[in-house]
Structure 1
Amino acid sequence: MSSWLVRGLTMTAVHVLARILLGVAVVEAPLNSTVWRTVTIAAVVLIALVWGGFDGIRDARANPDPDDYEDLTVRWLKAGVMAGVIAGLISWILGNTVLAGIGQAGLFVELIAGASFTALLVFVPAFVGAAIGRWLIRRDQNKGAPEDDWSVHEDRHADATAQ
């Protein structure tokens, strides 16, 4: 199974579960809906951020040269779009059949606006996490490297041009 497919299906499950829990919480305590919305969005973002960070760390360890890094951007973009579309469809079906509290948006709105929002909730934090993970590994790898001294390079250049 493709790595983006695993990430997409997992983030779909996370998002649908978050929407179900949010719907139940809002129905039970409607005055705290802002808090519950913030918590569920933060949970989805945090999971994507941490998973993207692990991807970045694993990729930087496997490829010490940044030119050899895997394309995590497209991987997470595919996963985010997939999660958005499938989570939107599942949430619309659940909202119209079983759980009236998870939203009453139309199918078109769920598949366009909702899917776009979900895709961004998955893609952007995962991309930031991957960048942070790679940066942390590169920083550790460069600790043992000698400092770049510009005077040494200038001396070499002066010697090469003098000859």
Structure 2
Amino acid sequence: MSSWLVRGLTMTAVHVLARVLLGFAVVQAPLNSTVWRTIAIAVVVLIALVWGGYDGIRDARANPDPDDYEDLTVRWLQAGVLAGVLAGLISWILGTVVLAGIGQASLFVELIAGASFTALLVFVPAFVGAAIGRFLVRRDQNKGAADDDWSVHEDRSHHGDGTPSDADAPTQRIR
């Protein structure tokens, strides 16, 4: 199974579960609907952010050269579009047939506006997470490389007894 398909189906399940739980919460406490909506969106965003960060860390560790990175942008874009369309369709079916309280719109609106919103809720945080993950790995690798360069420079600039070598002596220019 393709990696984007696994991500898309998982994020579909997360989004549908968040909408179902949001529907139950809003029915039970309608005055707190803004809080519940914020929590539901935050959960979807946080899961995409963490998963994208994990992908970025794993990719940067597997590919030392940034030119060899996998294309996580397209992977997460495909996953986001799949999650958006499937979550919109499933939520519309659930809202029409089973759970009237989840707040679905017409099928057209769910598949266009709802799917677009869900795709962005998945894609943007995952993209940011991947960038942060890659940055953190590169930062750690650059720290290690800088420490190695410094120790090599120190080894060449001093003799074994601690006296400076010829590398530290000033050079004269001959005209």
2:63 aligned with 1:71: no
Q: Distance in 2 between matches of 1:31 and 1:38?
A: 13
Q: How does 1:89-100 map to 2 (within 5 A)?
A: 89-100=89-100
Aligned twin of 1:36:
36
Shift of the alpha carbon at 1:100?
A: 0.7
Instruction: Please give the alpha-carbon distance, in whole angstroms, between the structure 2 residues aligned to 1:75 and 1:15.
Output: 18
Match of 1:141 in 2: 141
Answer yes or no: is the 8 Å Cα contact 2:104–2:110 preserved in 1.
Answer: no
Query: Does the Cα contact within 8 Å between 2:51 and 2:126 map onto a contact in 1?
Result: yes
> What is the aligned partner in structure 1 of residue 166 from structure 2?
none
**Which region of structure 1 is more displaced relative to structure 2, 96-105 or 43-52?**
96-105
List aligned pairs for 1:1-163, cutoff 5 A.
Answer: 1-146=1-146
Q: Which runs of 5+ in 1 are unaligned?
A: 149-163
Inter-partner Cα distance in structure 1 for 2:125 and 2:102: 24
State how far apart, in whole Å, the 2-side matches of 1:52 and 1:62 are: 15
Q: Specify the code of the residue in structure 2 equivalent to 1:93.
A: I
Structure 2: give runs of 5+ residues left out of the alignment: 150-175
Give distance in 1, aligned partners of 2:144 and 2:62: 18
Structure 1 stretches of 4+ moved >6 Å: none
Q: CA deviation at 1:146?
A: 3.5
1:106-155 CA distances to partner (integer Å, 9 max, x unpaired)?
Answer: 0000000000000000000000000000000000000022399xxxxxxx
Percent of aligned pairs with the same residue?
Answer: 89
> In the aligned structure 1, how far is the partner of 2:107 from the partner of 2:85?
11
How much does 1:103 deviate?
1.2
* Cα RMSD (Å): 1.2
With structure 1 as the length reference, what TM-score do the two structures score? Answer: 0.89
Identify the structure with bigger relative contact order (alpha carbons < 8 Å, sequence gap 6+). 1
**For the residues of structure 2 that align with 1:103 and 1:131, how far apart are their CA atoms?**
34
Aligned-partner residue type, residue 78 of structure 2: K
